[in-house]
Amino acid sequence: MTLKSDLIVFSDFDGTFTARDIGNRIYTHFSGGRNRPLVEDWKKGLISSRECLTRESELITATADDIKAFLNQFELSAGALETYKELTNHGIPFYILSDGLDFYIEYILRKYHLEQIPYCANRAIFDGNRLRIEFPYQNDSCPRCGSCKGVRIKEIVGAQREAVDVVFIGDGLSDICALPQSDSIFARGDLLTYCRNHHFPAIEYSDFFDILTWFKETGKITD
């Protein structure tokens, strides 16, 4: 691809672009909490995202409509909409990279009239009240992820890597493959702890207004 901007922004979805971790809430709600041991094993690195999502999906019986009704309660993070609009007004590409599921990302983006945002995620396939996950962005070089953010950043930025400043925004352990591919890292939650323990120079943030302020104060966008 050809980038018009020398900046490119990648954001995680669950708990980052949205205030709460929607994927986790869905599985917890519809499994009655029986997914928790799987999530704990995933956090410890004992099982991959693929195994975790596949086995979590086996625990729930819910139709797509059941889950969509549950989605109404979720909102974007404070400042996410404003930041996205400012960045795109300045010609800065903005992507969502998620190791969650396409159907709720699509639903939430549509709710906020943001369906134009390109995103990568795992694919949810409903068959009645059974849910099955496919991994179109799976990469054999990464044993950890379903949809590996490091691989996706490399693919999207491509040969222009040296000329482009990559900004990544995240909150969790599904984001760690993005870290070596990023020039500026915004982190909160488990990702912030991981960055501190592994010496990645992360900028702590609490919501997207902090990130918008950083873009302005560093002169990366000007009014």
Task: By CB under 5 A, name the binding residues for Zn ion.
Answer: 142, 144-145, 148, 177
Do the beta carbons of residue 167 and residue 9 sit within 8 Å? Answer: yes
DSSP alpha helix (H) spans, the chain: 22-30, 36-43, 49-58, 64-71, 80-89, 102-111, 149-157, 189-197, 208-217
Under rule CB under 5 A, residue 99 binds Mg ion? no
Closer CB to Mg ion, 102 or 171, in the complex: 171
In the range 133-172, which residues lie near Mg ion by CB under 5 A?
Answer: 171-172
Could you tell me whether strands 165-170 and 184-187 are parallel, antiparallel, or unpaired per DSSP bridges?
parallel
Residue 19 binding partner per list Mg ion, Zn ion, none, with a CB distance cut-off of 5 to 8 Å that depends on partner kind = none
Q: Which of 9, 12, 97, 194 binds Mg ion (CB under 5 A)?
A: 12
Under rule CB under 5 A, residue 15 binds Mg ion? yes
In the range 192-211, which residues lie near Mg ion by CB under 5 A?
Answer: none
189 sits in the region (left: phi over 0; alpha: psi -120 to 50; else beta) called left
Residue 12 binding partner per list Mg ion, Zn ion, none, with a CB distance cut-off of 5 to 8 Å that depends on partner kind = Mg ion
- Separation between Cα atoms, residue 171 and residue 102, nearest integer Å: 19
Under rule CB under 5 A, residue 14 binds Mg ion? yes
Q: Per the structure block, which two tokens stand in for 103?
A: 């159907």
Q: Per the structure block, which two tokens stand in for 114?
A: 């943001």
Closer CB to Mg ion, 12 or 102, in the complex: 12
* CB of 174 vs Mg ion, minimal distance in Å: 6
- Given the rule CB under 5 A, which residues bind Mg ion? 12, 14-16, 171-172
